[in-house]
């Protein structure tokens, strides 16, 4: 179920400015890789290129050696959790998660229209699965609430449940911890660790460096669209280039995310 992700010399420019330039990285199956970098480093663009929300100008993206960069997003088998709320309004939390099962449901229009037994079986399976996923992210009590009424943190957890319900081979998490309270953050860290133990390949973008250092197997550091460092948390922490990129030679960069290139995938 789990896959190796290979990104090879991927570039994407917006109006002549490179957001991501010749980025290559390999995430072995079952690894939890974090991508960090200052604002405007190209993290979100890189995510969108892997997830299929943006097309790369050049370069390849492969899952277990099979190139997917020309496939539409819905055929890549990649689960994505966005930083901004992207839940389906007008549906309950439970229904949102059930939609996630669409990717792995093959009951056609006729089976549903004719109310074939197969449709009933599928529906029961989807309901059970959605409940399990909702429970895993700690949202079981919120199941019947309209999705858009959930607090932002919960909406992000809901996206995670929705992604898990689609049995992704690779999970992209874009700042899953931002805006969460300490207890929620702990719960999320436990959940992510457990998903990794189960063998899911995970790519994580996060501003909270302490959170990342604790969870990630390896860290890739981007700055100005390029990879400037790649290694274990300890190696990255000791890398002088990383310190310079984050703190700057003279000025301190703002630490809050801002719209711009970063916001493309968000």
Partner 1 sequence: MSDLIGYLITGLGIGAGFALVASGLVAIYRVTRVVNFAQGGFAVLAALLTSTLLAAGLPHGVAELGGVALGALAGLIVGVVAIGRPGTSPGTSLIVTLGLGVLAYAVEVLIWGDQPRSFPGLTGVAEVAGARLPAHYLLILAVTAPVFALMAWFFARTDLGRALTACASNRYAAQVVGIDVRRMGLLAFTIGGALGGLAGVLTTPVQQVTFDSDVTLIVNGFAAAVLGGLTRPMIALAGGLLLGVTQTLVAGYGGGAYQMEVALVLMLTVMIVQAARTGPVPETAR
**What's 252's DSSP letter?**
P
Q: Are strands 218-223 and 170-174 parallel, antiparallel or unpaired?
A: unpaired
| Closest to 70 (Cα-Cα) out of 54, 84, 86, 47 | 54
At 10 the three-state DSSP class reads strand
CB of 7 to partner 1, least distance (A): 18
88 binds partner 1 (CB under 8 A): yes
Q: Given the complex with partner 1, which of 166 and 176 has the nearer CB atom?
A: 166
Rounded CA-CA distance 231/221 in Å is 9
Q: Given the complex with partner 1, which of 96 and 220 has the nearer CB atom?
A: 96
How far from 156 is each of 87, 126, 256, CA to CA, in Å?
Answer: 8, 21, 18
At 261 the three-state DSSP class reads helix
| Closest to 40 (Cα-Cα) out of 12, 16, 20, 61 | 20
Token couple for 220: 């890739």
Among residues 15, 16, 65, 109, the one that binds partner 1 under rule CB under 8 A: 109
CB of 210 to partner 1, least distance (A): 28
Rounded CA-CA distance 225/43 in Å is 8
Q: Given the complex with partner 1, which of 93 and 227 has the nearer CB atom?
A: 93
119 binds partner 1 (CB under 8 A): yes
| Closest to 36 (Cα-Cα) out of 180, 216, 191, 190 | 216
By CB under 8 A, which span of 94-102, 177-185, 189-197, 256-264 interacts with partner 1? Answer: 94-102
CB of 221 to partner 1, least distance (A): 26
| Closest to 49 (Cα-Cα) out of 10, 106, 97, 89 | 10
Among residues 163, 188, 200, 222, the one that binds partner 1 under rule CB under 8 A: 163
**What's 168's DSSP letter?**
-
Among residues 11, 24, 39, 53, the one that binds partner 1 under rule CB under 8 A: 53
| Phi, psi of 45, rounded to the nearest 5 degrees | -65, -45
24 binds partner 1 (CB under 8 A): no
Rounded CA-CA distance 122/129 in Å is 10
By CB under 8 A, which span of 102-110, 209-217, 237-245, 249-257 interacts with partner 1? Answer: 102-110
89 binds partner 1 (CB under 8 A): yes
CB of 95 to partner 1, least distance (A): 6
By CB under 8 A, which span of 92-100, 138-146, 185-193, 238-246 interacts with partner 1? Answer: 92-100
Q: Given the complex with partner 1, which of 25 and 164 has the nearer CB atom?
A: 164
CB of 147 to partner 1, least distance (A): 9
Positions in the binding site for partner 1 (CB under 8 A): 51, 53, 72-75, 77, 80, 82, 86-91, 95, 98-105, 107-109, 112-113, 119, 122-123, 126, 162-163, 166
């Amino acid at each position: 179920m789990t896959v190796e992700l290979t990104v090879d010399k991927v570039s994407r420019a917006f109006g002549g400015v490179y957001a991501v330039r010749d980025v290559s990285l390999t995430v072995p199956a079952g690894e939890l890789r974090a991508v960090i970098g200052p604002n405007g480093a190209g993290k979100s663009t890189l995510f969108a290129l892997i997830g299929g929300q943006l097309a790369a100008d050049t370069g390849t993206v492969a899952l277990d050696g099979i190139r997917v960069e020309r496939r539409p997003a819905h055929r890549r088998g990649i689960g994505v959790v966005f930083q901004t709320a992207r839940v389906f309004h007008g549906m309950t939390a439970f229904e949102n998660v059930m939609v996630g099962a669409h990717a792995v449901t093959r009951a056609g229009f006729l089976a549903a229209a004719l109310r074939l037994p197969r449709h009933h079986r599928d529906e029961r399976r989807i309901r059970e699965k959605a409940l399990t996923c909702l429970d895993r992210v700690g949202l079981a009590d919120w199941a019947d609430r309209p999705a858009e009424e959930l607090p932002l943190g919960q909406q992000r957890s809901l996206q995670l449940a929705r992604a898990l319900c689609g049995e992704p081979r690779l999970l992209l998490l874009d700042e899953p911890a931002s805006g969460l309270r300490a207890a929620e953050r702990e719960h999320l860290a436990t959940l992510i660790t457990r998903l990794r133990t189960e063998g899911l390949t995970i790519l994580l973008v996060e501003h909270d460096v302490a959170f990342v250092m604790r969870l990630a197997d390896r860290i890739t550091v981007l700055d100005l669209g390029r990879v400037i460092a790649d290694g274990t948390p300890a190696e990255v922490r000791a890398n002088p280039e990383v310190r310079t990129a984050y703190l700057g030679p003279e000025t301190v960069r703002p630490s809050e995310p801002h719209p711009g290139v970063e916001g493309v995938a968000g």
